[in-house]
Protein backbone atom coordinates (compact mmCIF):
# COMPACT_ATOMS: atom_id res chain seq x y z
CA UNK A 1 0.00 0.00 0.00
CA UNK A 2 1.35 3.37 -1.04
CA UNK A 3 0.64 6.46 1.09
CA UNK A 4 0.46 9.94 -0.42
CA UNK A 5 1.33 12.55 2.21
CA UNK A 6 -0.06 15.83 0.90
CA UNK A 7 1.40 18.98 2.47
CA UNK A 8 -0.07 22.43 1.76
CA UNK A 9 2.38 25.16 2.69
CA UNK A 10 2.61 28.91 2.99
CA UNK A 11 5.61 30.58 4.63
CA UNK A 12 6.38 27.77 7.08
CA UNK A 13 10.05 27.34 6.19
CA UNK A 14 10.90 27.34 9.90
CA UNK A 15 8.74 24.24 10.53
CA UNK A 16 9.07 22.34 7.25
CA UNK A 17 12.38 20.55 8.04
CA UNK A 18 10.82 18.92 11.12
CA UNK A 19 7.60 18.08 9.30
CA UNK A 20 9.40 16.50 6.34
CA UNK A 21 11.79 14.58 8.58
CA UNK A 22 8.88 13.14 10.56
CA UNK A 23 7.37 11.76 7.33
CA UNK A 24 10.52 10.58 5.57
CA UNK A 25 11.67 8.67 8.66
CA UNK A 26 8.52 6.52 8.76
CA UNK A 27 9.20 2.78 8.89
CA UNK A 28 6.58 2.17 6.18
CA UNK A 29 8.69 2.87 3.13
CA UNK A 30 6.10 3.01 0.36
CA UNK A 31 5.18 6.68 0.42
CA UNK A 32 5.37 9.92 -1.51
CA UNK A 33 5.45 13.46 -0.14
CA UNK A 34 3.63 16.09 -2.18
CA UNK A 35 4.08 19.73 -1.24
CA UNK A 36 1.97 22.48 -2.75
CA UNK A 37 3.57 25.82 -1.96
CA UNK A 38 1.09 28.67 -1.99
CA UNK A 39 3.43 31.36 -3.39
CA UNK A 40 5.48 31.61 -0.20
CA UNK A 41 7.64 34.67 0.30
CA UNK A 42 10.16 32.89 2.54
CA UNK A 43 12.59 30.12 1.50
CA UNK A 44 10.05 27.29 1.84
CA UNK A 45 10.72 25.85 -1.61
CA UNK A 46 14.45 25.67 -1.01
CA UNK A 47 13.81 23.93 2.32
CA UNK A 48 11.61 21.32 0.63
CA UNK A 49 14.20 20.65 -2.05
CA UNK A 50 17.16 20.57 0.34
CA UNK A 51 16.98 16.87 1.34
CA UNK A 52 17.16 15.78 -2.31
CA UNK A 53 14.86 12.85 -1.54
CA UNK A 54 13.21 11.44 -4.70
CA UNK A 55 10.04 10.70 -2.72
CA UNK A 56 9.43 14.45 -2.34
CA UNK A 57 7.80 16.55 -5.05
CA UNK A 58 6.88 20.20 -4.85
CA UNK A 59 4.43 22.29 -6.85
CA UNK A 60 4.65 26.08 -6.56
CA UNK A 61 1.54 28.16 -7.19
CA UNK A 62 2.17 31.29 -9.22
CA UNK A 63 -0.20 33.17 -6.92
CA UNK A 64 -1.68 32.49 -3.50
CA UNK A 65 -4.93 30.59 -4.15
CA UNK A 66 -6.15 30.53 -0.55
CA UNK A 67 -5.96 27.82 2.07
CA UNK A 68 -8.73 25.45 0.99
CA UNK A 69 -7.89 25.65 -2.72
CA UNK A 70 -4.28 24.80 -1.90
CA UNK A 71 -5.39 21.63 -0.12
CA UNK A 72 -6.70 20.37 -3.45
CA UNK A 73 -3.56 21.53 -5.26
CA UNK A 74 -1.55 19.26 -2.95
CA UNK A 75 -4.02 16.38 -3.09
CA UNK A 76 -4.24 16.27 -6.86
CA UNK A 77 -0.56 15.42 -7.09
CA UNK A 78 -1.24 12.12 -5.30
CA UNK A 79 -0.68 8.75 -6.97
CA UNK A 80 -0.91 6.52 -3.87
CA UNK A 81 -3.70 4.30 -2.63
CA UNK A 82 -4.24 6.20 0.64
CA UNK A 83 -3.96 9.93 1.28
CA UNK A 84 -3.16 12.02 4.34
CA UNK A 85 -3.37 15.83 4.39
CA UNK A 86 -0.61 17.02 6.73
CA UNK A 87 -0.10 20.68 7.58
CA UNK A 88 3.43 21.89 6.94
CA UNK A 89 3.93 22.68 10.63
CA UNK A 90 2.61 19.37 12.05
CA UNK A 91 4.40 16.08 12.70
CA UNK A 92 3.96 12.36 12.21
CA UNK A 93 4.98 10.26 15.16
CA UNK A 94 7.25 7.23 14.52
CA UNK A 95 5.30 4.23 13.33
CA UNK A 96 2.16 6.16 12.35
CA UNK A 97 2.01 4.85 8.79
CA UNK A 98 2.91 1.32 9.89
CA UNK A 99 -0.02 1.34 12.33
CA UNK A 100 -2.40 2.60 9.65
CA UNK A 101 -1.17 -0.02 7.21
CA UNK A 102 -1.55 -2.76 9.82
CA UNK A 103 -5.07 -1.66 10.71
CA UNK A 104 -6.22 -1.54 7.09
CA UNK A 105 -4.72 -4.96 6.48
CA UNK A 106 -6.61 -6.38 9.48
CA UNK A 107 -10.03 -5.29 8.26
CA UNK A 108 -12.21 -8.21 7.16
CA UNK A 109 -13.07 -8.25 3.50
CA UNK A 110 -9.92 -6.28 2.71
CA UNK A 111 -10.78 -5.30 -0.85
CA UNK A 112 -14.14 -3.85 0.17
CA UNK A 113 -13.65 -2.57 3.70
CA UNK A 114 -10.13 -1.16 3.43
CA UNK A 115 -11.02 0.45 0.11
CA UNK A 116 -13.81 2.45 1.78
CA UNK A 117 -12.31 2.98 5.24
CA UNK A 118 -11.38 6.33 6.76
CA UNK A 119 -8.95 6.36 9.72
CA UNK A 120 -8.09 9.05 12.22
CA UNK A 121 -6.15 9.03 15.48
CA UNK A 122 -5.34 10.90 18.65
CA UNK A 123 -2.77 13.69 18.35
CA UNK A 124 -0.45 15.56 20.66
CA UNK A 125 -0.73 19.32 20.80
CA UNK A 126 2.74 20.87 20.57
CA UNK A 127 4.15 24.37 20.82
CA UNK A 128 6.54 26.02 18.31
CA UNK A 129 9.47 24.20 19.97
CA UNK A 130 7.83 20.73 19.78
CA UNK A 131 7.02 20.55 23.50
CA UNK A 132 3.79 18.68 24.22
CA UNK A 133 1.15 20.96 25.76
CA UNK A 134 -1.92 18.74 25.45
CA UNK A 135 -3.54 15.78 23.74
CA UNK A 136 -6.77 15.40 21.76
CA UNK A 137 -8.43 12.02 21.40
CA UNK A 138 -11.79 10.74 20.18
CA UNK A 139 -14.86 12.83 21.04
CA UNK A 140 -17.02 10.94 23.53
CA UNK A 141 -20.11 12.30 21.78
CA UNK A 142 -19.13 10.71 18.46
CA UNK A 143 -17.06 7.65 19.31
CA UNK A 144 -18.97 5.56 21.86
CA UNK A 145 -17.74 2.75 24.16
CA UNK A 146 -19.80 0.27 22.16
CA UNK A 147 -17.79 1.17 19.03
CA UNK A 148 -14.61 -0.39 20.45
CA UNK A 149 -13.43 -3.31 18.28
CA UNK A 150 -11.67 -5.93 20.39
CA UNK A 151 -10.30 -7.87 17.42
CA UNK A 152 -8.65 -4.81 15.88
CA UNK A 153 -7.34 -3.72 19.28
CA UNK A 154 -5.55 -7.05 19.68
CA UNK A 155 -3.89 -6.52 16.32
CA UNK A 156 -2.81 -2.95 17.00
CA UNK A 157 -2.24 -3.02 20.77
CA UNK A 158 -4.20 0.21 21.27
CA UNK A 159 -7.86 1.22 21.63
CA UNK A 160 -9.59 1.16 18.24
CA UNK A 161 -13.10 2.44 17.51
CA UNK A 162 -14.95 1.19 14.46
CA UNK A 163 -18.37 2.38 13.28
CA UNK A 164 -20.34 2.40 10.04
CA UNK A 165 -19.74 5.64 8.18
CA UNK A 166 -23.44 6.51 7.97
CA UNK A 167 -23.88 6.05 11.71
CA UNK A 168 -20.95 8.35 12.46
CA UNK A 169 -22.13 10.92 9.92
CA UNK A 170 -25.55 11.13 11.56
CA UNK A 171 -23.93 11.66 14.96
CA UNK A 172 -21.84 14.45 13.45
CA UNK A 173 -24.78 16.21 11.83
CA UNK A 174 -26.84 16.04 15.01
CA UNK A 175 -24.06 17.94 16.80
CA UNK A 176 -22.58 19.86 13.85
CA UNK A 177 -19.30 18.17 14.81
CA UNK A 178 -16.10 17.17 13.03
CA UNK A 179 -15.43 13.43 13.43
CA UNK A 180 -11.76 13.47 12.51
CA UNK A 181 -8.56 15.38 13.16
CA UNK A 182 -7.21 17.28 10.15
CA UNK A 183 -3.61 16.09 10.28
CA UNK A 184 -4.20 12.47 11.25
CA UNK A 185 -6.95 11.43 8.84
CA UNK A 186 -6.22 8.88 6.12
CA UNK A 187 -8.62 7.99 3.33
CA UNK A 188 -8.56 6.17 -0.02
CA UNK A 189 -7.67 8.34 -2.97
CA UNK A 190 -10.71 6.89 -4.76
CA UNK A 191 -13.01 8.43 -2.13
CA UNK A 192 -11.27 11.80 -2.40
CA UNK A 193 -11.84 11.72 -6.14
CA UNK A 194 -15.45 10.57 -5.73
CA UNK A 195 -16.38 13.76 -3.86
CA UNK A 196 -14.13 16.04 -5.95
CA UNK A 197 -11.92 16.94 -3.00
CA UNK A 198 -12.27 19.94 -0.72
CA UNK A 199 -13.67 22.19 -3.42
CA UNK A 200 -12.46 25.48 -1.98
CA UNK A 201 -15.89 26.43 -0.65
CA UNK A 202 -14.92 27.18 2.95
CA UNK A 203 -12.93 30.09 4.37
CA UNK A 204 -11.64 28.82 7.73
CA UNK A 205 -12.99 25.31 8.33
CA UNK A 206 -12.72 23.25 5.12
CA UNK A 207 -11.89 19.96 6.80
CA UNK A 208 -15.24 19.46 8.59
CA UNK A 209 -17.20 19.92 5.35
CA UNK A 210 -14.76 17.61 3.55
CA UNK A 211 -15.01 14.96 6.28
CA UNK A 212 -18.81 15.00 6.22
CA UNK A 213 -18.83 14.44 2.48
CA UNK A 214 -16.12 11.80 2.83
CA UNK A 215 -18.24 9.86 5.32
CA UNK A 216 -21.16 10.03 2.90
CA UNK A 217 -19.27 7.82 0.42
CA UNK A 218 -17.20 5.76 2.88
CA UNK A 219 -18.17 2.41 4.37
CA UNK A 220 -16.26 2.27 7.64
CA UNK A 221 -14.79 4.86 10.01
CA UNK A 222 -12.02 4.05 12.48
CA UNK A 223 -10.27 5.94 15.26
CA UNK A 224 -7.03 4.83 16.93
CA UNK A 225 -6.74 6.25 20.43
CA UNK A 226 -2.99 6.54 20.26
CA UNK A 227 -1.02 9.76 19.57
CA UNK A 228 0.27 9.08 16.07
CA UNK A 229 0.52 12.74 15.00
CA UNK A 230 1.32 16.11 16.54
CA UNK A 231 -0.66 19.28 15.89
CA UNK A 232 1.29 22.47 16.33
CA UNK A 233 -0.38 25.45 18.03
CA UNK A 234 1.09 28.88 17.28
CA UNK A 235 -0.31 32.35 16.57
CA UNK A 236 -0.47 31.96 12.77
CA UNK A 237 -2.03 28.50 12.37
CA UNK A 238 -5.59 27.93 11.17
CA UNK A 239 -7.11 27.44 14.62
CA UNK A 240 -5.52 30.63 15.90
CA UNK A 241 -6.73 32.52 12.82
CA UNK A 242 -10.23 31.21 13.46
CA UNK A 243 -10.10 32.47 17.05
CA UNK A 244 -8.96 35.88 15.81
CA UNK A 245 -11.63 36.16 13.12
CA UNK A 246 -14.40 37.26 15.48
CA UNK A 247 -16.30 33.99 14.87
CA UNK A 248 -17.95 35.19 11.64
CA UNK A 249 -15.81 33.29 9.12
CA UNK A 250 -16.38 30.11 11.08
CA UNK A 251 -20.14 30.74 11.31
CA UNK A 252 -20.43 31.55 7.60
CA UNK A 253 -18.81 28.18 6.84
CA UNK A 254 -21.15 26.37 9.22
CA UNK A 255 -24.21 28.16 7.84
CA UNK A 256 -23.21 27.25 4.28
CA UNK A 257 -23.14 23.59 5.26
CA UNK A 258 -26.77 23.71 6.43
CA UNK A 259 -27.72 24.86 2.94
CA UNK A 260 -25.36 22.85 0.77
CA UNK A 261 -25.48 19.36 2.30
CA UNK A 262 -27.07 17.04 -0.25
CA UNK A 263 -30.71 16.34 0.63
CA UNK A 264 -30.30 12.75 -0.55
CA UNK A 265 -27.67 12.21 2.16
CA UNK A 266 -30.01 13.59 4.83
CA UNK A 267 -32.83 11.38 3.58
CA UNK A 268 -30.60 8.30 3.67
CA UNK A 269 -29.69 9.10 7.29
CA UNK A 270 -33.34 9.60 8.28
CA UNK A 271 -32.85 13.34 8.83
CA UNK A 272 -34.40 16.49 7.40
CA UNK A 273 -32.96 19.89 6.52
CA UNK A 274 -34.87 21.24 9.53
CA UNK A 275 -33.01 18.78 11.80
CA UNK A 276 -29.69 20.10 10.51
CA UNK A 277 -30.74 23.72 10.98
CA UNK A 278 -31.87 23.04 14.56
CA UNK A 279 -28.51 21.41 15.28
CA UNK A 280 -26.72 24.47 13.88
CA UNK A 281 -28.76 26.81 16.10
CA UNK A 282 -28.29 24.69 19.21
CA UNK A 283 -24.57 23.92 18.88
CA UNK A 284 -22.99 26.58 16.65
CA UNK A 285 -25.01 29.49 17.98
CA UNK A 286 -26.46 28.83 21.44
CA UNK A 287 -23.75 26.65 22.97
CA UNK A 288 -20.87 28.25 21.12
CA UNK A 289 -22.18 31.64 22.14
CA UNK A 290 -22.55 30.52 25.76
CA UNK A 291 -18.95 29.23 25.83
CA UNK A 292 -17.73 32.49 24.31
CA UNK A 293 -19.63 34.59 26.86
CA UNK A 294 -18.32 32.39 29.69
CA UNK A 295 -14.79 33.31 28.58
CA UNK A 296 -15.64 36.98 28.95
CA UNK A 297 -15.86 37.71 25.20
CA UNK A 298 -19.19 39.52 25.36
CA UNK A 299 -18.95 41.35 22.04
CA UNK A 300 -18.03 38.16 20.19
CA UNK A 301 -20.87 36.26 21.87
CA UNK A 302 -23.27 39.00 20.78
CA UNK A 303 -22.03 38.67 17.18
CA UNK A 304 -22.64 34.93 17.33
CA UNK A 305 -26.19 35.47 18.60
CA UNK A 306 -26.89 38.18 16.01
CA UNK A 307 -25.62 35.96 13.20
CA UNK A 308 -27.98 33.16 14.23
CA UNK A 309 -30.90 35.56 14.43
CA UNK A 310 -30.15 36.98 10.99
CA UNK A 311 -30.02 33.61 9.19
CA UNK A 312 -32.53 31.49 11.12
CA UNK A 313 -34.79 33.81 13.15
CA UNK A 314 -37.65 31.35 13.62
CA UNK A 315 -35.38 28.55 14.77
CA UNK A 316 -33.61 30.91 17.16
CA UNK A 317 -36.94 31.88 18.72
CA UNK A 318 -37.82 28.20 19.12
CA UNK A 319 -34.57 27.13 20.81
CA UNK A 320 -34.60 27.50 24.60
CA UNK A 321 -30.79 27.67 24.83
CA UNK A 322 -30.70 30.48 22.27
CA UNK A 323 -33.26 32.35 24.35
CA UNK A 324 -31.15 31.77 27.45
CA UNK A 325 -28.11 33.19 25.67
CA UNK A 326 -30.12 36.25 24.67
CA UNK A 327 -31.11 36.83 28.27
CA UNK A 328 -27.56 36.44 29.58
CA UNK A 329 -26.27 38.93 27.02
CA UNK A 330 -28.56 41.61 28.45
CA UNK A 331 -27.20 41.19 31.99
CA UNK A 332 -23.68 42.53 31.48
CA UNK A 333 -21.08 41.28 33.99
CA UNK A 334 -23.70 39.25 35.85
CA UNK A 335 -24.62 37.48 32.61
CA UNK A 336 -20.98 36.59 32.07
CA UNK A 337 -20.73 35.02 35.54
CA UNK A 338 -23.98 33.11 35.09
CA UNK A 339 -22.80 31.93 31.65
CA UNK A 340 -19.63 30.53 33.21
CA UNK A 341 -21.68 28.53 35.75
CA UNK A 342 -24.13 27.34 33.08
CA UNK A 343 -21.37 26.30 30.71
CA UNK A 344 -19.59 24.28 33.42
CA UNK A 345 -22.84 22.42 34.09
CA UNK A 346 -23.56 21.94 30.41
CA UNK A 347 -20.11 20.74 29.34
CA UNK A 348 -20.35 17.14 30.66
CA UNK A 349 -23.78 16.68 29.05
CA UNK A 350 -22.69 18.34 25.83
CA UNK A 351 -19.66 16.06 25.53
CA UNK A 352 -21.99 13.08 25.88
CA UNK A 353 -24.24 14.41 23.15
CA UNK A 354 -27.24 15.34 25.31
CATH number at residue 230: 3.90.550.10
Q: For the chain, how many structural domains are there in total?
A: 2
281 and 331 in a single domain? The answer is: yes
Alpha-carbon gap, residue 331 to 173, rounded angstroms:
32
Is the same domain home to 224 and 286? no
Instruction: Tell me: do 279 and 161 sit in the same domain.
Output: no
203 and 56, same structural domain? yes
105: which residues sit within 8 A by CB, 6+ positions away? 1, 114
The model's pTM is 0.92
Query: What does the pLDDT read at residue 247?
Result: 65
Q: What letter would DSSP give residue 202?
A: -
Domain co-membership, 130 together with 269: no
| Residue where a domain stops, chosen among 208, 234, 260 | 234
Q: What is the three-class DSSP state of 197?
A: coil
- Answer yes or no: do 65 and 177 share one domain: yes
Q: Which positions ≥6 away from 190 have C-beta within 8 Å?
A: 115
- At residue 345, the pLDDT reads 82
What angle (nearest 5°) sits at the alpha carbon of residue 163, between those of residues 158 and 166?
155
Kindly state the average pLDDT of the residues 51-55. 92
- Of all residues in the chain, what percent carry a pLDDT higher than 70? 92
146 by Cβ neighbours in 10 Å (0-12 / 13-18 / 19+) ranks as exposed
DSSP assignment letter at 43: S
- Choose between 238 and 41: higher pLDDT: 41
Task: Give the pLDDT score at 263.
Answer: 97
In this structure, what DSSP letter does residue 27 have? Answer: S
Strands (E), the chain: 3-9, 31-37, 56-60, 82-85, 91-92, 117-126, 132-136, 160-164, 186-188, 220-232
Does one domain contain both 250 and 178? no
Domain end, chosen from 217, 234, 251, is at 234
Q: Which domain, by its residues, includes 310? A: 242-351
Report the pLDDT averaged over residues 247-257: 90
Specify whether 69 is located in the same domain as 40.
Answer: yes
Mean pLDDT for all residues in the chain: 92
- Same domain, yes or no: 142 and 217: yes
Instruction: Quickly state the pLDDT bin for 110 (edges 50, 70, 90).
Output: very low
Which of 234, 258, 276 is the last residue before a domain boundary? 234
The CA distances from residue 248 to 188, 202, 244, 323, in Å, are 33, 12, 10, 20
Of residues 99 and 343, the one with the higher pLDDT is: 99
Amino acid sequence: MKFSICIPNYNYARYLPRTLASVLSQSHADLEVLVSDNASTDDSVAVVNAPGDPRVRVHVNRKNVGFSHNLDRAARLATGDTMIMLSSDDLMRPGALADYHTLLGALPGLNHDAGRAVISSTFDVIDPDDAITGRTGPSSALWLPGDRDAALERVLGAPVYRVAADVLLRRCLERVANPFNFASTAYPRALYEAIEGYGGGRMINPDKWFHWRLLAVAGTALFIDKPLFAYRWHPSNQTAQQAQSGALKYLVDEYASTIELDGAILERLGMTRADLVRAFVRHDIARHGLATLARGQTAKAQRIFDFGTSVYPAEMRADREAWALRGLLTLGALGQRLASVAYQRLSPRASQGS
